[in-house]
Amino acid sequence: MEIAYDTWESSAQLLPKYIFSLFKYNPGTVVEWKHLRTNNEMSKTLNYLFWEFRPCVDGFRHCRKIISVDGTQLYTKYKHKMLIGITLDANNQVLPLAFAIVDEKTTDSWKWFLESLGRHVVRGESVVCLISDRHKRIVRATADLPYFQPPHVFLVILPSSTSDSD
């Protein structure tokens, strides 16, 4: 694996370069970083990373105003989670809207993701339906976010067989 992909550490160090390339070759793409504070100013520890592609967000203007959010584990040496916001286009095809890499699926990380989603994707929409099938943390996270308050947003939590710790 290391011959083909190099080490975990060197791959993680390439993340800023990869994100810069996304930004450079996809005009209008938004990227936000949040780092943990460390004593060493020369190194940074990733806490949260958010990105969205401008063409997808522009396409959202012509879609049903329904956003489904969910998260998944990243099974690697680094145990981060990926949060995703999607919608369906007019052909019922999945249109990805935003992505985030977070350290854990906590109320704070969901709040940060949803705040970024609201600021960069939902912005200016009069009514949006937000759908999730997992976490009560999402309800807590939306409590203080103006983009996700009635009457502008309807929050739908679908029943799930997974536990809240998932």
**165-to-15, 31, 136, 156 alpha-carbon distances in Å:** 28, 28, 10, 19
Q: Is 164 part of a structural domain of the chain?
A: no
Alpha-carbon distance 152 to 124, whole Å?
A: 10
Q: Is 57 part of a structural domain of the chain?
A: yes
**Closest to 150 in 3D by CA, of 133, 135, 131, 129:** 129
pLDDT at 44: 64
Q: Is 163 part of a structural domain of the chain?
A: no
Q: Is 42 part of a structural domain of the chain?
A: yes
Q: Is 166 part of a structural domain of the chain?
A: no
pLDDT at 123: 80
Alpha-carbon distance 114 to 125, whole Å?
A: 15
Q: pLDDT 10s per residue in the chain (166 long)?
A: 667 666 666 666 777 788 788 878 888 888 887 766 666 666 666 678 899 989 999 999 898 889 999 998 887 777 789 999 999 988 999 999 999 989 888 889 999 999 999 888 888 777 888 888 657 788 888 888 877 777 767 766 666 545 444 5
**Closest to 84 in 3D by CA, of 59, 110, 106:** 110
By residue range, what is the domain housing residue 6? 2-157
Q: Is 162 part of a structural domain of the chain?
A: no
Alpha-carbon distance 111 to 145, whole Å?
A: 8
From the CB of residue 9, how many other CB atoms can be counted at a distance below 10 Å?
9
Question: pTM for the complete prediction?
Answer: 0.79
Cβ-count burial 143-153 (b if 16+ within 10 Å, e if not): eebebbeeeeb
Q: Is 108 part of a structural domain of the chain?
A: yes
Q: Using an 8 Å Cβ cutoff, are 137 and 81 in contact?
A: no
Structurally, the chain folds into a number of domains equal to 1
Q: Is 105 part of a structural domain of the chain?
A: yes
